[in-house]
Amino acid sequence: MVKITDVARHAGVSPSTVSYALSGKRPISEETRQRIEASIRELGYRPHAGARALASSRSNVLALVVPLRAGIHVPVVMQFAVSVVTTARRHDHDVLLLTQEEGEDGLRRVADTALVDALIVMDVQLHDRRLPLLRALDRPSVLIGFPSEPKGLTCIDLDFQAAGEACVEHLAGLGHRVIALVGSPPEVYVRETGFAQRVVRGFTAAADRHGLSSSVHPCEAAPGAARQVAEQLLRERPALTGVVVHNEPIVEPLIEAFEQLGLRVPGDLSVTAICPDELADGTRVPVTSIAIPSAEVGATAVELLMKKLGGATVPEATLLPPRLTVRASTAPRP
Amino acid sequence: MVKITDVARHAGVSPSTVSYALSGKRPISEETRQRIEASIRELGYRPHAGARALASSRSNVLALVVPLRAGIHVPVVMQFAVSVVTTARRHDHDVLLLTQEEGEDGLRRVADTALVDALIVMDVQLHDRRLPLLRALDRPSVLIGFPSEPKGLTCIDLDFQAAGEACVEHLAGLGHRVIALVGSPPEVYVRETGFAQRVVRGFTAAADRHGLSSSVHPCEAAPGAARQVAEQLLRERPALTGVVVHNEPIVEPLIEAFEQLGLRVPGDLSVTAICPDELADGTRVPVTSIAIPSAEVGATAVELLMKKLGGATVPEATLLPPRLTVRASTAPRP
DNA sequence: GCGTGATGTCGAAGCGCTTCGACGGGCGAA
DNA sequence: TTCGCCCGTCGAAGCGCTTCGACATCACGC
Q: What is the pLDDT of residues A148-159, one digit of tens each?
A: 899 999 999 999
Q: What is the pLDDT of residue B71?
A: 67
Task: Count Cβ–Cβ pairs < 8 Å, chain A vs chain B.
Answer: 102
Q: What residues 245-284 of chain B have any CB closer than 8 A to a CB of chain A?
A: 284
Q: Which of B54, B78, B86 sits opposite A101 (nearest CB)?
A: B86
Q: Which residue is nearest to nucleotide D7 (CA to C1')?
A: B27
pLDDT of residue A268: 95
Given a cut of 80, is residue B193 above it in pLDDT?
A: no
pLDDT for position A221: 86
B17-39 per-position pLDDT tens digit:
999 999 999 999 999 999 999 99
Distance CA(A32)–CA(B68), nearest Å, equals 41
Q: Say how far apart CA B64 and CA B98 lie, in whole Å.
A: 6
From A106, A29, A94, A19, select the one nearest A59 (Cα to Cα).
Answer: A94
Q: What is the pLDDT of residue A191?
A: 67
d(CA A160, CA A55) in angstroms, rounded, equals 43
- The residue that minimises its CA distance to C1' of C20 is B16
Of A47, A66, A112, the CB nearest to B113: A47
φ/ψ of residue A16, rounded to 5? -65, -35
When CB atoms are compared, the residue of A46, A85, A86 closest to B113 is A46
A136 touching B (Cβ < 8 Å): no
From the list A216, A283, A215, the residue with the least C-alpha distance to A250 is A283
Residues for chain B: how many in total?
334
Is residue B192 predicted with pLDDT exceeding 90? no
Separation of A93 CA and C8 C1' (Å): 29
Distance from B99 to chain A by nearest Cα, in Å?
A: 7
Partners of A49 on chain B (C-beta within 8 Å) are 50, 53, 59, 113-115
A contacts of B94 (beta carbons < 8 Å): 96-98, 110, 115
A271 CA to C10 C1' in angstroms comes to: 71
pLDDT over threshold 70, residue B298 = yes
Interface probe with B: pick from A94, A120, A122, A260, most Cβ of B within 10 Å: A94
Q: What is the pLDDT of residues B205-225, one digit of tens each?
A: 999 999 999 999 999 988 889
Within a 10 A sphere around the Cβ of A1, how many other Cβ atoms?
10
- H helices of chain B, in order, are 4-11, 15-23, 30-43, 49-56, 74-90, 103-112, 131-136, 160-173, 186-190, 195-209, 223-236, 251-260, 277-282, 294-309
What domains are there in chain A, each with its CATH number? 4-47 (1.10.260.40), 61-158+294-320 (3.40.50.2300), 160-292 (3.40.50.2300)
Crossing angle for the helix pair B74-90 and A74-90, nearest 10 degrees?
70
Residues in chain B within 8 Å Cβ distance of A54: 48, 50-51, 54
Q: How far apart are CA A171 and CA A173, in angstroms?
A: 5
Q: From the alpha carbon of A55, which nucleotide's C1' atom is closest? A: C15
Of B234, B164, B171, nearest to B200 by C-alpha is: B164
The answer, yes or no, to whether residue B121 has pLDDT greater than 70, is yes
Which 8-state DSSP code applies to residue A118? E
- The reply to whether A55 Cβ lies less than 7 angstroms from strand C is yes
- Residues A258-299: tens digit of each pLDDT: 999 999 989 999 999 999 998 898 888 999 999 999 999 999
Answer whether any strand C atom is within 7 A of the Cβ of A13.
Answer: yes
Q: Is the shortest CB-to-strand distance from B284 to strand C under 7 Å?
A: no
For B228-233, what is the mean pLDDT?
95
A52 contacts B50? CB cut-off 8 A: yes
Q: Which of A164, A96, A157, A160 is nearest to A124 (CA)?
A: A157
B299 in contact with A, Cβ within 8 Å: no
The pLDDT tens digits of the residues spanning A165-195 come to 999 999 999 999 999 999 998 888 876 678 8
State chain B's mean pLDDT as an integer: 94
C-alpha span between B48 and A110 (Å, rounded): 10
Name which of A64, A94, A99 is nearest B115 (Cβ-Cβ).
A94
In angstroms, the separation between the Cα of residue A2 and the nearest Cα of chain B is 10
Inter-chain contact B61–A97, Cβ cutoff 8 Å? no
Probe site for chain A from B89, B113, B302 (most A CB atoms < 10 A): B113
pLDDT of residue A74: 85
Beta-carbon separation of A97 and B102 below 8 A: no
- pLDDT score at A223: 81
Please state whether strand C lies within 7 Å of residue B47 at its CB atom: yes
The answer to whether the Cβ–Cβ distance between A99 and B82 falls below 8 Å is yes
User: Cβ–Cβ contacts within 10 Å for residue B23, how many?
Assistant: 12
Identity of the residue in B47, B109, B284 whose CB atom sits nearest the CB atom of A113:
B47
Provide the phi-psi class of B57: left if phi over 0, else alpha when psi is between -120 and 50, else beta: left
Determine the residue of chain B that is closest to A66 in CA distance.
B82
Q: Which residues pair with B244 in a beta bridge?
A: B181, B272
Percent with pLDDT over 90 in chain B: 86
Contact status, residue B115 vs residue A94, Cβ threshold 8 Å: yes
Residue B177 has pLDDT above 70, yes or no: yes
pLDDT value of position B69? 76
Question: Residue B95: which of A50, A53, A97 has the nearest Cβ?
Answer: A97
Interface test with B, best of A56, A62, A77, A78 (most B CBs within 10 A): A78
Q: Cα–Cα distance between B194 and B199 in angstroms, integer?
A: 9
Lowest-pLDDT range of B116-130, B177-191, B194-208, B296-310: B177-191
Cα–Cα distances in Å, from B177 out to B45, B209, B237? 68, 12, 12
Nearest 5 degrees, angle CA A163-CA A169-CA A171? 110
- Taking only the tens place, the pLDDT of each residue in B53-96 is 999 999 999 999 999 876 678 888 999 999 999 999 999 999 99
Q: Is the CB of B96 less than 8 angstroms away from the CB of A99?
A: no
- Which residues in chain A land under pLDDT 70? 70-71, 191-192
User: Would you report the helix, strand and coil content of chain A in percent, each value rounded to 5?
Assistant: 45, 15, 35
